[in-house]
Amino acid sequence: MAFKGYVVQRVLFFTYSFIILLLLNFLIPRFMPGNPVSRFVNPLMSPQAQHQILEQFGLTKPIYIQFILYVKNIFTGNFGISFLYYPTPVIDLIEQRLPWTLFLTGTATILSALIGIVLGLIAAWKENSKLDNMLVFISMMLRSIPTFWLGLVLLILFGVTLKLFPTSGYFSTSFIIYKSNVIVFIGNVLRHTFLPLITLMAYLIGGNLLIMRASTLSTLKEDYVTMLKAFGYNNRKILYSHVLKNASLPMLTNIGIQMGYIISGAVLVEAVFSYPGMGLLIYQAVLARDYPTLQGAFFILTLSVLIALLIVDILYGILDPRIRR
Amino acid sequence: MEIPKDNRYLKIPIYLLKSVKGGLGFTVILTFSILPFLRSFIVKYNPQTVGVGLPNQPPSYAHLLGTTSLGQDVFSQFISGGLIPIIVGILTGIFTSFLVIIIALPMGYYSDKLSGKFIALLTDIFLVIPTLPLIIILGVYLGPSVFNQVFVLTLISWPFPTRIVSSQVMSLKERGFILSAKACGASDMKIMFEEILPNVTTLIISNTILVIIFAILFQTAISFLGLGDPTQIDWGNMLYYAEQSGAIANGEWWWVIPPGIGIMLLAFSFSLLFLRIEEIMRDY
C-alpha cells in the first residue's frame, strides 16, 4: 500500500470517529431516561433563569436546530458553565486540567512501552526458563490488579505510613506563596507525579511484556534468524540489531489500541491521588452530578485519544517499510 | 484449532475441570459465589449493620478485619462483596456473547460487501473510544443499579471480541465445507448459524471469559467511583466508602486491602480458566 493512500485512509477513519463522537455526545444526554432539563441547567436557579439558559442553549427549539447549535458550540469551545465551579465555563476548567493528564499519560505510555519491550524481548529469548515463567506470571498478576486499588495501597504504604511521597496534588502549594527556582519546582512536580505514574504503568507493563514476548517468539521463528544463526552471528547481535526492530513494530499498533485503556486508567489514578487532571475533574463532576463538565470532559478526552491514535497510526506508516514504500 | 461440526465443544467443561488451572480457577469463583449465602454461619454480624463494633478499629478477635468508620464489620463485608462482581461479570459475558454472535457473523461473512464493511468500521470506532469515560457518562445518566451496570458494560464490551470472532469467520468462509454448502444451495442464514457458528463457538467462549474479567474489573471501578448500587455491598463500593471517609489518610489498611485481594483473586481465576480453554482449543 502506498504511504499516501494509507494516510488518507487513517485521516478518513479519524473523521468518521469524530462524527460518531459528536453524535454520541449529543444523543446521550437527550435520550437517556430522567429529566433532561436538569442536565443543562442548575436546578437550584430560579425558573426564569433556568428558562433563559435553556433558550441560550437552544433547548426549546426542534431537535435538528439543537444539533446545528450544538455543533457550533463545540467548534467555538462553548461547553456550557460548570455547576460545581459555577460560574466558570467548562472549557476553562478543561484548559487547566488537560496538560497534566497529557503529561501523566504520555510519560506512562512511553516508559511502559520501553520497559515492556526490553523485558518481553528477554522473556522470549529465554523462553520457558525460570526468568521467563516469572515474568509471565508477574505480568498476569499485574493485569489482574485493579489499578485504583493498587493506587490506594501505594498511597497508604508510601504516602501515609512511610511518608516518602506526597499524597495529593501536582506540586506543593507552598510554591505559590514562596517563589522558588525552577529546578526545585520540577523536582517537586516529579515527586508528586511518581506514585500516580508507577500505578498507571503497572497495568500497562504487564500487557506490553506479554505482547512483546509473543511478537519476539514469532520473529525468532523467521527464516532470516535461522540463517543469521547458521552464519555464526553472535546471539546478542541477532537479538538487538535484527529481532528487536521487527518485533517492536506490533508494539506500536498495540500502543494505539491501548490508548483508550490508558485514559481509563488515568481517570481512576487521578481520582485516587487527587492529581488535578481531567480524571479528577470527571470524578468530581460525577460526585456533584455536574453534567456540563462531564459532557465537556468526555468530549475532549475522547478527542485527545482520537488525535493520539492518528499520530501513532501515521508514525507506524513511516516506520513500517512495507507501507512507506 | 478447527473443531469438527459435532458437539465436541460441549465437552469443554469436563476438559476444563480436569486440570489444575481450570479446577483452581473454578474453585475460587465458586467459593466467592457461595460465601455470601453462608455468611450467617461464618460471622455473626450483618455487613450493612452500623455500630456492631467501635468505629475504625484494627483487626481483633471480635472483628477479624477490623471495622469501618461506621463501626461495620469489614470481614463480613468482604465475604459478601464478591457476589455482585461475579453476577455482573457473568451476565455481561452472556449478553455480550449474544451481541457478538449477532454482529460478528454477518460482519465476517459479508466482509466483502458494503454492509459488512460498514459494521466493521463502526466496530473499529467503538474500539478506540475510551471505555471508562463512556461507562461513567452512561452510568451517571442511567443511575446506580446492578442492572444498569450490566447494561452499560454490555454496551461497551462487544467491539473487541467481535473483531476477533469476525476475522475467524472471514477465514472460515473460504473453506471447502462452506463452499460446498453454498453449492448445495444453502441460504446465507443457514450457513452462518449452522456451519460457521459451531466452528467459532470455542473462540466465543474463550472471549466471553475475557469479557467477564474486563466486566469484573470495570464493575469494581465504577462502584469505586460511586456509581454502584448503594443498597448492596460489593468490593468496589467498600473502597468508595473507605476513600470517602478518609480511611486512606488514616492508614486504615485493614479496610482497603481485603476488597482488592478479592478482586485480584477473582480476575486471576477467570484468567486461569481462559488459559485452560486456550490449551483445550490447541490440543483437542
Q: Nearest CA to CA, how far is A76 from chain B (Å)?
A: 22
Put simply, the answer to whether B133 touches A309 (Cβ < 8 Å) is no
Give chain B positions within 8 Å (CB) of A302.
129-130, 133-134
Contact A17 B224 (CB under 8 A): no
> What are the extents of the domains in chain B?
7-53+60-81+233-284, 86-200
Count of other CB atoms within 10 angstroms of residue B278? 13
pLDDT at A142: 86
Q: What stretches in chain A show pLDDT beneath 50?
A: none
Residues B220, A134, B253: CA angle, nearest 5 degrees: 40
* Adjacent-strand bridge partners of A89: A81
Q: Which residue of A has its CA nearest to B235?
A: A149
Contacts of A258 in chain B (CB under 8 A): none
- pLDDT at residue B16 above 80? no
Nearest Cα neighbor of A317 from A244, A240, A239, A256 is: A256
Partner B contacted by A12 (CB < 8 A): no
Grid coordinates belonging to A147: 489499578
Which of B134, B224, B268 is nearest residue A148 as measured by Cβ atoms?
A: B224
Cβ-defined contact of A260 to B259 (cutoff 8 Å): no
Instruction: Kindly give the interhelix angle for B159-172 and B146-157, rounded to the nearest 10 degrees.
Output: 40
**Residue A262 C-alpha, separation from nearest chain B C-alpha, in angstroms:** 8
pLDDT value at position A38? 66
The answer to whether residue A310 neighbours chain B at the CB level (below 8 Å) is: no
Rounded CA separation A319/A283 (Å):
38
The enclosing H or E element of B127 equals helix B114-128
What's the pLDDT score for residue A58?
64
Residue A40: its pLDDT value, please? 65
B73 phi and psi, to 5 degrees?
-85, 120
pLDDT for position B161: 92
Q: What are phi and psi of B236, to 5 degrees?
A: -65, -50
Q: Which of chain A's residues have a Cβ under 8 Å away from the Cβ of B131? A: 260-261, 264
Where do we find the cell 455547576? A83
Q: Do A140 and B268 touch (CB under 8 A)?
A: yes
Give the pLDDT confidence score for residue A178 in this predicted structure: 57
Q: A311: which chain B residues are within 8 Å (Cβ-Cβ)? A: none
Q: Would you say residue B81 has pLDDT above 60? A: yes
**Cβ separation of A268 and B221 shorter than 8 Å?**
yes
Among chain B residues, the shortest Cα distance to A263 is held by B130
Alpha-carbon span B58 to A56, nearest angstrom: 55
Can you give the pLDDT at residue B248? 81
Closest Cα in chain B, distance from residue A260 (Å): 4
Q: Kindly state whether B204 is in contact with chain A, defined as any CB-CB distance less than 8 angstroms.
A: no
Q: How far apart are alpha carbons A296 and A82 in whole angstroms?
A: 10
Residue of B nearest to A264 (CA): B132
Q: Find out whether B38 and B68 touch, Cβ atoms under 8 Å.
A: no
Q: What is the DSSP letter of A128?
A: T
For chain B, what is the mean pLDDT?
86
Tell me which chain B residues have a C-beta less than 8 angstroms from the C-beta of A286.
136, 140, 225-227
Contact residues for B111 (Cβ-Cβ < 8 A; gap 6+): B117, B120, B166, B169, B170
> How many A-B residue pairs are in contact by the CB < 8 A criterion?
144
CA distance B128 to chain A (A): 6
Residue B247 C-alpha cell reads as: 480511611
- Whole-Å CA distances, A164 to A154, A173, A244, B134, B149: 11, 18, 37, 35, 38
SS3 assignment for A134-182: HHHHHHHHHHHCCHHHHHHHHHHHHHHHCCCCCCCCCCCCHHHHCCCCH
Provide the pLDDT confidence category of residue B1 given band limits of 50, 70 and 90: very low
User: H/E element holding A97?
Assistant: helix A90-125
Let me know: does B269 contact B88? Beta carbons within 8 Å: no
The letter for the amino acid at B13 is: P
Which tens digits make up the pLDDT trace of B223-248?
Answer: 998 888 888 889 999 999 998 888 88
**Cα A32 → chain centroid:** 27
DSSP structural state of residue A81 = B
Q: Is A89 helix (H, G, I), strand (E, B) or coil?
A: strand
Q: What is the DSSP string of B24-83?
A: HHHHHHHHHHHHHHHHHHH-SS-TT-TTSS-TTPPP-SSSTT-B-TT--BHHHHHHHTTH
- Identify the closest residue of chain A to B130 by CA–CA distance: A260
pLDDT tier for residue B43 given thresholds of 50, 70 and 90: confident
Per the DSSP assignment, residues forming a β-bridge with B67 are B73
Residues 6 or more apart whose CB falls under 8 angstroms from that of A110 comprise: none
Q: What pLDDT, on a 0 to 100 scale, did the predictor assign at position B211?
A: 94
**Angle between the N-to-C axes of helices B197-222 and B146-157, in degrees from 0 to 180, rounded to the nearest 10:** 130
User: What would the DSSP string read from start to end of B192-249?
Assistant: IIIIIHHHHHHHHHHHHHHHHHHHHHHHHHHIIIIIS-TTS--HHHHHHHHHHTTTTT
Cα angle vertex B183, ends B181, B184, to 5°? 65
Question: Would you identify the CATH topology of the domain B86-200?
Answer: MetI-like fold (1.10.3720)
pLDDT in tens, B168-215: 898 888 888 888 888 888 888 888 888 889 888 888 988 999 999 999
ipTM: 0.83
Q: How far apart are CA B217 and CA B236, in angstroms?
A: 9
- Residues of B with Cβ-Cβ distance to A161 under 8 angstroms: 251
Let me know how many helices (H) and strands (E) chain A has, helices first. 15, 0
Rounded (10°) CA dihedral B220, B222, B224, B226: -140
Segment (H or E) for B256: helix B253-283
Q: Does B129 lie at the interface with A, CB-CB under 8 angstroms?
A: yes
Q: Which triple of cell numbers denotes residue B143?
A: 443511575
Q: Give the distance from residue B249's alpha carbon to the nearest chain A alpha carbon, in angstroms.
A: 6
Query: What backbone phi and psi angles, to 5 degrees, belong to A36?
Result: -65, -30
Concatenate the DSSP letters of all residues of A185-240 into one string.
Answer: HHHHHHHHHHHHHHHHHHHHHHHHHHHHHHHHHHHHTSHHHHHHHHTT--HHHHII
Burial B30-50 (b: 16+ CB within 10 A, else e): eebeebbeebeeebebbbeee
